[in-house]
């Protein structure tokens, strides 16, 4: 089959690799019809995540048709499914309390040591996201092997287009969980850093949850325009002093909740951010956390901090004083996708949630490398790239 493979920093290629096979009895093989490039794929592309190996197939936002099933899969051939990027068994301690992205049984035993050393506990398996999370082949390919197919994938009705439901795999539930983690109350003013797909969905979710005002922060005009279209007020951090503006726009109280939808590769020119860029380049896993630091200072005392943005290492000069003295609550984590898919599918069917507005480009799989390059270098206009393996050039 054809698949997008990683070969090094800024080096991804579409190559022919072995087709996936059913290995375990709960597996299914999916023929991919749509697969997106995620903002977090850019962390892999930029070489900021450890444990990626040459030849790894990337991609963790995908959907398609079931073409083969193991004997214990509950899927049927021909069904259309969206597959969560988190691989979860459904039966372990964490799955039973709906912490699906902490599944104890999806990361192969021999792959767990690296993340256990880095984080104190092993991570769950994720599709196409380094060997820290299992080294599973991802979905930027013609076919993918889906473990625990009786538990994760959600069957979608034929009257909904791929573009309407594809993002149930990651960014829609991720934006929703980001807003949920911010524990939004009706009178809240909420600030969201980053108007990429997750930030935009977080804005949409925060508004649906009843926030009285959502303030979006970015510097790309097109992305800020999309945020405004969603109903947010906007701040361009290149032109405006963000902290001062947030204080003023929240009536001098400070924002009630902050959402960092940027993560480890924040733009910005603070001195410590520049030092962190150097550290990232030499490969010692330093997270550039300028957004998170700014968010911790901007949030009001007793406020809530939600972090959907990806971090993978450690960071310097973390404002522990602001955290403690202001009595902040922090909630974060890889998304527990399976917790949200059913309800969000219903919201899509009812028309409460639209996901298609952010897709800027649809490309054949063969053009995936160009998709990565442009998604990274032309972030203003390339807001979301969807690859279609069946599409002709």
Partner 1 sequence: MRNDRDLGLAGTVAGVGLALGGLAFGAFLTQRRKGGGDDAPFYTRKSPDSDDAVLGRTVTIRKPRAELYEFWHDFGNLPRFMENVETIRSEGDHRVWTIKAPGGRTVDVRTEVSEDTQNRRIAWRSVEGSDIETSGSVEFEDAPGQRGTRVSLVMSYDPPAGEVGRAIAKLFMREPEVQARHDLKRFKMLMETGEVATSARTKDQTRKAKQQENG
Given the complex with partner 1, which of 23 and 225 has the nearer CB atom? Answer: 23
By CB under 8 A, the residues from 63 to 102 that bind partner 1 are: 72, 89-93, 96
On whether the CB atoms of residues 142 and 1 are closer than 8 A, the answer is: yes
> Within 10 Å of residue 42's Cβ, how many Cβ atoms?
18
135 binds partner 1 (CB under 8 A): yes
Helix pair angle (290-298, 271-281), 10° resolution: 150
Q: How many other C-beta atoms can be found within 10 angstroms of the C-beta atom of residue 283? A: 10
Other Cβ atoms less than 10 A from the Cβ of 8: the count is 10
For 348, the enclosing helix (H) or strand (E) is helix 341-350
The DSSP bridge pattern shows strands 154-155 and 233-236 to be unpaired
- Residue 187 touches partner 1, criterion: CB under 8 A: no
Answer yes or no whether residue 5 interacts with partner 1 by CB under 8 A: no
Which residue, 24 or 352, is less far from partner 1 as judged by CB?
24
Taking the C-alpha atoms of residue 215 and residue 224, their distance in angstroms, rounded to an integer, is: 10
Minimum distance of partner 1 from residue 131's CB (angstroms) = 8
How far apart are the C-alpha atoms of 64 and 28, rounded to whole Å?
11
Number of residues that bind partner 1 (CB under 8 A): 35
Q: Minimum distance from CB of 25 to partner 1 (Å)?
A: 6
**x-or-dash string of contact with partner 1, 145-184, rule CB under 8 A:** x-xx------------------------------------
Minimum CB separation from partner 1 for residue 338, in Å?
Answer: 15
Q: Minimum CB separation from partner 1 for residue 125, in Å?
A: 7
Contact pick of 18, 350, 377, 393 for partner 1 (by CB under 8 A): 18
Pairing of strands 61-69, 80-83: antiparallel
- If one asks whether residue 304 binds partner 1 (CB under 8 A), the answer comes out as no
SS3 202: helix
Kindly compute the dihedral angle of the four CA atoms of residues 243, 205, 166, 107, in this order, to the nearest 10 degrees: 70
User: Which of residues 9, 16, 24, 381 is near partner 1 by CB under 8 A?
Assistant: 24
Which is it for strands 86-87 and 125-126: parallel, antiparallel or unpaired?
A: antiparallel
Based on the shown chain and the rule CB under 8 A, indicate whether residue 23 belongs to the binding site for partner 1.
yes
Nearest to partner 1 of 98, 212 (CB atom): 98
User: Minimum Å distance from CB 60 to partner 1?
Assistant: 13
Which residues make up the interface to partner 1 (CB under 8 A)?
17-21, 23-26, 57, 72, 89-93, 96, 104-113, 125, 134-137, 145, 147-148
């Amino acid at each position: 089959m054809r698949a997008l493979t990683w070969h090094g920093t800024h080096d991804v290629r579409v190559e022919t690799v072995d087709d996936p096979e059913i290995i375990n009895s709960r597996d299914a093989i999916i023929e991919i019809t749509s697969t997106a490039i995620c903002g977090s794929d850019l962390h892999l592309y930029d070489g900021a995540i450890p444990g990626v190996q040459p030849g790894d197939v990337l991609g963790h936002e995908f959907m398609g048709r079931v073409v083969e099933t193991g004997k214990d899969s509950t899927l049927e051939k021909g069904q259309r499914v969206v597959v969560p990027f988190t691989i979860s068994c459904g039966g372990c301690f964490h799955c039973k309390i709906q912490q699906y992205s902490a599944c104890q049984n999806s990361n192969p035993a021999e792959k767990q040591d690296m993340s256990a050393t880095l984080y104190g506990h092993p991570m769950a398996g994720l599709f196409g996201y380094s060997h820290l999370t299992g080294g599973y082949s991802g979905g930027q390919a013609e076919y993918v092997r889906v473990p625990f197919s009786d538990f994760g994938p959600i069957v979608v009705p034929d009257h909904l287009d791929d573009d309407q439901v594809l993002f149930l795999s990651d960014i829609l539930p991720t934006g929703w969980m980001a807003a949920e983690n911010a524990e939004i109350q009706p009178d809240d003013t909420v600030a969201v850093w980053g108007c990429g797909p997750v930030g935009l969905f977080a804005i949409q979710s925060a508004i649906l949850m009843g926030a009285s005002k959502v303030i979006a922060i970015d510097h790309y005009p097109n992305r800020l325009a999309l945020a405004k279209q969603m109903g947010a007020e906007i701040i361009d951090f290149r032109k405006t002093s963000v902290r001062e503006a947030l204080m003023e726009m929240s009536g001098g109280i400070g924002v009630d909740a902050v959402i960092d939808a940027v993560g480890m590769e924040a733009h910005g020119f603070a001195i410590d951010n520049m030092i962190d860029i150097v550290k990232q380049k030499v490969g010692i896993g330093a997270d550039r956390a300028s957004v998170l630091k700014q968010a911790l200072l901007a949030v009001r005392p007793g406020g809530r901090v939600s972090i959907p943005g990806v971090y993978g290492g450690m960071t310097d000069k973390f404002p522990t004083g602001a955290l403690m003295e202001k009595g902040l609550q922090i909630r974060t984590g890889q998304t527990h996708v399976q917790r949200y898919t059913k309800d969000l599918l219903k919201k899509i069917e009812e028309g409460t949630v639209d996901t298609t507005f952010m897709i800027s480009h649809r490309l054949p799989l063969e053009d995936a490398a160009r998709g990565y390059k442009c998604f990274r270098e032309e972030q203003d206009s390339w807001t979301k790239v969807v690859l279609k393996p069946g599409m002709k050039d």
